[in-house]
Amino acid sequence: MKGFTLIEVMVVVLIMGILSAVIMPKFDQTVEKTRAAEGITALRALAEQQASCLAKYPDSEKCMQGPENNNLFTYGDAMASTETPMCDYGTTAGPATKNFEYWADGQYIIAIRRPCNKYSLETTTYQSNYNEPELNRIGCSNDGTKDWCAILGFVKENNRYLLP
């Protein structure tokens, strides 16, 4: 008779299980880094859009937070939106994509990683109430139980995670 014995099949399944247990966490981290890159790119585009707006309208609420049709997200077109925000963050809601929701308030622009409990990214660009080393940087806050900010490569400075 030709074929594999039950022991041989079990050994192969065991080896595949060990390999997947080693590879899957690294794969998940790599995928999350790619998703975070989307949020970082969008925040940089929004920060540039905010700078352009502030150059045109100095000290304007339009460049930070304002009514539904008069805020940073309606000035210019830095982002393409495919979904409606679902996280209740209590600030001016902006566009949302499959991976992030974007919000603005008077101090910063925020990208919240869906499903609203993993982590959030924020810019402190062009705001005067932050320390100088934090201006023009992307920050990260952990909202869940996993330290995503450290996994994504953010460095802890002054008790905040900042993109190097």
pLDDT above 70: percentage of residues in the chain? 72
Question: What pLDDT is attached to residue 71?
Answer: 59
**Whole-prediction pTM value?**
0.73
Cβ atoms within 10 Å of 12's Cβ, excluding its own: 11
Q: What band does 92 get if pLDDT is binned at 50, 70 and 90?
A: low
Cα–Cα distance list, 76 to 53, 65, 80, 133 (Å): 8, 14, 11, 28
pLDDT digits over 3-17, tens only? Answer: 889 999 999 999 999
Question: What pLDDT, on a 0 to 100 scale, did the predictor assign at position 6?
Answer: 92
Average pLDDT in the 14-37 region? 90
Q: What is the pLDDT of residues 94-125, one digit of tens each?
A: 778 888 888 876 667 888 888 877 888 888 65
Domains of the chain, residue spans = 6-162
| pLDDT of residue 152 exceeding 80 | yes
* φ and ψ of 123, to 5 deg: -110, 150
Q: Give CA separation, 109 vs 75, 100, 137, 141, 149, in Å.
A: 14, 12, 11, 13, 17
Strand partners of residue 156: 161
Q: Is the pLDDT of residue 127 over 60?
A: no
pLDDT for residue 69 = 47
Structure tokens at 122: 């924020």
